[in-house]
Structure 1
Amino acid sequence: MMVIALGFFGLLVGFSSGFFGIGGGTILVPTLIYFGYDIKMAIGISVMQMIFSSMFGSYHNYKAGVLQLHSGIYLGFGALIGAGFSGLIVDALSSLALLILFASILALSIYKFFSAPIVPAHEPNESKSLLFGVGIVIGAIAISTGTGGAIFLTPFLVGFLHWDIKKAVGTTLFFIIFGSISGFISLALSGHVDYTVGVAVGIGSVLGVYFGVKLSHRVEKKVQKRALLFLYVVMFVLTLNKILSEMNIL
């Protein structure tokens, strides 16, 4: 019964993936934790479903012309390398350390994204070597915390590299394909994947991502930015609450 419920929840995760350009882990990992899953298993399930949603969503973003394919390739190959270390990182860090790492980077992302203008003030930076390096770092950190990396990458592209928000959202979903595949292999070899739940959530997310991508293409940039900020803040509060619980403060 729980697997069926998570399958339906995958619809929401998929919709969020398509609309926000995220892998869904930002929502799924905290939810699975509250359902009673250990954070390391929650990360494995989350990364597995990302493969489903990111591939399907990227196909539709490419058709709509909001996927910077040439830049996404360099980010993606960087993520492919970085995510390969995720199994080692998850094994090396405690659950509390992973939560704190996630919350810290999320807080920085919120600040930078909030301060970035809707219309970029400078020409977008698309340096191939820089994007490749960014892909490695974010791929390693993101997959190790159960996210696809978009929640870190989108603020970086918009805030530091001056990308248009819609192209940043479309490209980060493509970036997730590489990191999720590499991370899934690494986490599976470490025994951190529940395949039954991962498939159930993944199938649900494929159905949801279609509608999320369609809505993403239609809304104004200002509305999409506000929605992203709201999502980031909610996830930060949920993660902070879990950290305090782990530390027996609450």
Structure 2
Amino acid sequence: MEGLSTGTLLELAAVAVGAGMAGGVLAGLLGVGGGIVIVPALYFALTLSGMEGDIAMKIAVGTSLATIVFTSLASSLGHYKRGAIDTGLLKLWAPSILIGVVLGSLLGGYVSGKVLIAVFATVALLVSADMILRKGRADPEPRSFSKPVWAFFGVITGTLSAMMGIGGGTIGVPLLNFLGYDIRRAVGTSAAIGFLIGLPGALIYALSGLGAEGLPPFSLGYVNLLAAAVIIPLTTTFSQFGVKLAHSIPRRALRLAFGGFLLITATRMFIDLFSG
């Protein structure tokens, strides 16, 4: 958007710094790819600069997916070294997740930004309630489901994650935990899933946004390269700190931290949606 001043771009970069640091810690700690922080941070920064909420949300989602490609690689490597990634589940889930990502990214690039805000806030609120109110089993054991059921879960996870601009952990962590996976293995596996979501999702948002009006400088479609360049090195660095935290604090504390943060984020997004 040509109307954005140099000062506004600097403010966007400053917001990206904070989002990158916080997103990195949460990526390693919760397996969420950092998008649950990055999307609302970029969205609010862009709307406060005068950008329309519709285009701001799409840029926030597309840019977040681009950063998740790198964050998930760094975070999943840390969890893999600690044996917290279920490679069998990744192989089982990957094809259906990719299908969901393509569907969600295509929808996200063409529907109203308000739809993306509503999806983001609703899913975050439901997940936060589940993580806060439901107690995990002391000795969790994965439940057995047929491949079509796993495929269904994968498509839903991929679709919603691509529409929300998140790495899959926001949905994948509570889903895997509900299905009987230990919270730490759920976090580790979801961190790896982030790469499957971020790469194709970012490419589709970049392509679908080519030629769109009102884009800020340094944008490739709905991916803002300036914000991504600031966020990526910070999230990849700080994700390792989050990984250490995830393997050193109690399971219940991890669930409450995840749920509490999502509750705050969802509330703020709903306020913005209805006030707009």
TM-score scaled by structure 2? 0.83
Cα shift at 1:154:
1.4
Is 1:76–1:174's contact at 8 Å kept on the other side of the alignment? Answer: no
Q: Is the deviation greater in 123-132 or in 25-34?
A: 123-132
Q: Structure 2 vs 1, CA of residues 14 and 126 (structure 1 numbering), >3 Å: closer, same or farther?
A: farther
The unaligned stretches of length 5 or more in structure 1 are: none
Is 2:36–2:170's contact at 8 Å kept on the other side of the alignment? Answer: yes
Cα shift at 1:128:
6.2
Q: Which amino acid aligns with 2:195?
A: I
- Name the structure 1 match of 2:128: 110
Is 1:86–1:186's contact at 8 Å kept on the other side of the alignment? Answer: no
- Name the structure 1 match of 2:238: 208
Equivalent position to 1:9, from 14, 19, 34: 19
- Name the structure 2 match of 1:46: 64
For residues 168 and 87 of structure 1, the distance between their equivalents in structure 2, rounded to whole angstroms, comes to 24
Q: Which amino acid aligns with 2:157?
A: I
Q: Any residues of structure 2 matched to 1:82-93 within 5 Å, and which?
A: 82-93=100-111
Q: Which amino acid aligns with 1:211?
A: F
For residues 126 and 60 of structure 1, the distance between their equivalents in structure 2, rounded to whole angstroms, comes to 27
- Name the structure 1 match of 2:118: 100
1:9-40 per-residue CA deviation (whole Å, 9 max, x = no partner) reads 31221111111110111111111111115000
Q: Is the deviation greater in 187-196 or in 174-183?
A: 187-196
Is 1:81–1:182's contact at 8 Å kept on the other side of the alignment? Answer: no
- How many aligned residue pairs are there? 245
For residues 182 and 126 of structure 1, the distance between their equivalents in structure 2, rounded to whole angstroms, comes to 29
Q: Which has the larger radius of gyration?
A: 2
Secondary structure at 2:119 match in 1:
helix
For residues 103 and 121 of structure 1, the distance between their equivalents in structure 2, rounded to whole angstroms, comes to 32
Q: Is the deviation greater in 93-102 or in 129-138?
A: 129-138
Give the ranges of 4+ consecutive aligned residues of structure 1 lying more than 6 Å apart after TM superposition. Answer: none
- Name the structure 1 match of 2:44: 34
Alignment RMSD, CA only? Answer: 1.9
Structure 2 residue 206 is matched with structure 1 residue 188: yes
The unaligned stretches of length 5 or more in structure 2 are: 1-9, 48-55, 209-220
Secondary structure at 2:142 match in 1:
coil
Cα shift at 1:151:
1.0
Q: Which amino acid aligns with 2:83?
A: G
1:147-193 per-residue CA deviation (whole Å, 9 max, x = no partner) reads 1221112111212x121111111111111110111101111111211
Is 2:141–2:182's contact at 8 Å kept on the other side of the alignment? Answer: no
- Name the structure 2 match of 1:171: 189
Q: Which amino acid aligns with 2:36?
A: T
Is 1:110–1:155's contact at 8 Å kept on the other side of the alignment? Answer: no
Q: Structure 2 vs 1, CA of residues 165 and 16 (structure 1 numbering), >3 Å: closer, same or farther?
A: same
Secondary structure at 1:117 match in 2:
coil
Q: Which amino acid aligns with 2:232?
A: G
- Name the structure 1 match of 2:271: 241
Tell me: higher relative CO, structure 1 or 2? Use CA pairs within 8 A at least 6 residues apart.
1
Is 2:33–2:168's contact at 8 Å kept on the other side of the alignment? Answer: yes
Q: Structure 2 vs 1, CA of residues 115 and 46 (structure 1 numbering), >3 Å: closer, same or farther?
A: same
Cα shift at 1:74:
2.4
Cα shift at 1:101:
1.6
TM-score scaled by structure 1? 0.91
